Structure 1
Amino acid sequence: MRLAFLGPAGTYGEQAARQFAALEGFQDPEFVPQGSIRAVVKALADGGCSAAVVPVENSVEGGVTACLDVLWEHSDLQIRRALVLPIRHALLGSGPIDRVSEVLSHPQALAQCSQWLAEHLPDALQLPTSSTAEAARLVAGSRFRAAIASRQAAEEHGLEVLAYPVNDVIGNCTRFLLLQKEGGPAEGSTHCSLAFSLHANSPGALLEALSCFAHRQLNMSRIESRPSKREMGEYLFFVDLERPAAGEALQQAIEELRGLCQHLALFGAYPLTNLAEEERSPAG
């Protein structure tokens, strides 16, 4: 079992991949880092890996657009499981914090720590990188550069933790998806995901599409739009639904929706594990 994730070692994607492997009971998995979210999905689509782990949504910054775009391009892939992972950022470096003039990290991580940076490092230049762990790798040995990443990344790349936590919102968390090429609904599936494009941008078209779920009392837990990239004003819609115990209503809704769509992508049904809730529980 080879699992692709956004690398290098020490990313939150690697943490999610290891959690997925434990939840799925994978035997002796090999974790395969990739340089971008697109490369992660391509490793699965091309057959180089058996599964892929991608971030799809952050509780502070919203949807991960690169993930949504590549999912639409590879709409034959299936979601095996979802995982909500708590995100606790640290400022990592090799020199004193008062000498830091550049802060590197993934754009989402920089945004999630914008208030802290404005207060503690207001003059530092913020530089985007492909991942938080890549930022940690790049600043290793520098006396004036620091990275926003996990404390695990500090261990991986020989850095000191200069400040922790530095994320603006205590409850910051990211939802990751475990993708595979095929498979039916996993045992204990509670959610399902789909995406669609409409025949035309006409009045009431989206309302008509969403009414397929509403009049069957199916609850949407998320809806997000992305530009189709073909023409201005044309969008794709990504929808997550809570899966009812009886699947007839959901199947009926999908069949009705199919007739209203130019293209409909079904990503399957899956269970969701929320580690953020477990962290907040008295037992956690």
Structure 2
Amino acid sequence: MRFAFLGPVGTYGEQAARQLAELEEVARPELVPQSGIRAVVQALAHGSCDAAVVPVENSVEGGVTSCLDSLWEHPDLTVARALVLPIRHALLGSGPIEGVSEVLSHPQALAQCSQWLADHLPRALQLPTSSTAEAARLVAGSRFRAAIASQQAGGEHGLLELAYPINDVPGNCTRFLLLRRAPRSLHGPMASLAFSMHSNKPGALLEALACFAQRGLNMSRIESRPSKREMGEYIFFVDLELPEGSAPLEHALEGLRPLCAHLALFGAYPITNLS
């Protein structure tokens, strides 16, 4: 099986892909790095890969918007499994920390280490990159640049570990989704869906959310994204904790469909927490 992930080699996405392949009992997965989260999803949607691994939510910085937007663009894809991965960032470089004047990393990683950077490298310029491992690749050999990435990425690119761990919150973790082109399941401890309303009127969202409350379904997350069609129009992404059996989710969807202009169910699935 070919697993697409946010590359290059050494990202947390690669770690998640290996863990998810093991959970799916795939003995020899072929890991295929991509240059962006949209590219990861498109590799699956266009058929060049059999599965895609994408970060959907971080415990410090919240939802990964490019992932949410990509899911809405490809409602035919299914969430097969989720994994919560601990995130422990390192400051990596080729020279002493005293000489660092630029710090490169993915915007989420920079945000997750913002207080540490303010305390230890307050004058360093922060430069965003497409991934943490790409930052590690870019700083290799530089005496004034450093990267925020995993220890694995440092080893891949021959970098020195200047400080570890540097994330502001010790319990920092990211939830990754395993996407497949497969029939959706209605059985599992968690389900993910997204919907948009027919019209923006008082009580419309409350009426939609009541479909879950009336069936005893707890929302573990709700997040909105602009529809990109007009100001004030939003898409709502919801995660639900499910009881045994598919009936409560089926009944909730029956009540929800007439209220929505568009409704995408990404499926019910198991979740593994490594943190």
Q: TM-score range by the shorter chain?
A: over 0.9
* Contact 2:222 2:237 (C-alpha < 8 Å) held by counterparts: yes
2:86 alignment partner in structure 1: 86
Give the match's secondary structure for 2:249: helix
- Give the TM-score of the pair, scaled to structure 2: 0.99
1:236 alignment partner in structure 2: 235
The letter for the 2-side match of 1:25 is: E
The letter for the 2-side match of 1:118 is: A
Q: Deviations over 1:143-186 (max 9, x none)?
A: 00000000000011110100000000000000000000113428
Q: Which consecutive unaligned segments of at least 5 residues does structure 2 have? A: none
CA distance, structure 2, for counterparts of residue 267 and residue 131 of structure 1: 26
The letter for the 1-side match of 2:223 is: E
1:42 alignment partner in structure 2: 42
1:205 alignment partner in structure 2: 204
2:22 alignment partner in structure 1: 22
Q: Deviations over 1:204-241 (max 9, x none)?
A: 00000000001111111100000001111110000000
* Contact 2:40 2:53 (C-alpha < 8 Å) held by counterparts: yes
Shift of 1:27: 2.4
1:279 alignment partner in structure 2: none
CA distance, structure 2, for counterparts of residue 185 and residue 23 of structure 1: 17
* Contact 2:53 2:177 (C-alpha < 8 Å) held by counterparts: yes
RMSD: 0.9
1:52 alignment partner in structure 2: 52
2:146 alignment partner in structure 1: 146
CA distance, structure 1, for counterparts of residue 261 and residue 54 of structure 2: 26
Shift of 1:243: 1.4
* Contact 2:7 2:34 (C-alpha < 8 Å) held by counterparts: yes
Mapped pair 1:269 → 2:268: yes
Shift of 1:22: 0.5
The letter for the 1-side match of 2:57 is: E
Shift of 1:189: 1.9
2:219 alignment partner in structure 1: 220
CA distance, structure 2, for counterparts of residue 199 and residue 163 of structure 1: 51
CA distance, structure 1, for counterparts of residue 45 and residue 246 of structure 2: 28
The letter for the 1-side match of 2:153 is: A
2:192 alignment partner in structure 1: 193
CA distance, structure 2, for counterparts of residue 159 and residue 183 of structure 1: 44
1:9 alignment partner in structure 2: 9
Shift of 1:89: 0.1
2:183 alignment partner in structure 1: 183
CA distance, structure 2, for counterparts of residue 195 and residue 30 of structure 1: 30
CA distance, structure 2, for counterparts of residue 120 and residue 262 of structure 1: 50
The letter for the 1-side match of 2:39 is: A
1:121 alignment partner in structure 2: 121
Mapped pair 1:111 → 2:144: no
2:171 alignment partner in structure 1: 171
CA distance, structure 1, for counterparts of residue 44 and residue 215 of structure 2: 35
Shift of 1:248: 1.1
Give the match's secondary structure for 2:231: coil
Q: Which consecutive unaligned segments of at least 5 residues does structure 1 have? A: 277-284
The letter for the 1-side match of 2:262 is: H
CA distance, structure 2, for counterparts of residue 3 and residue 253 of structure 1: 33
Give the match's secondary structure for 1:18: helix
The letter for the 2-side match of 1:271 is: P
> Runs in 1 of length 4+ with deviation above 6 angstroms?
none
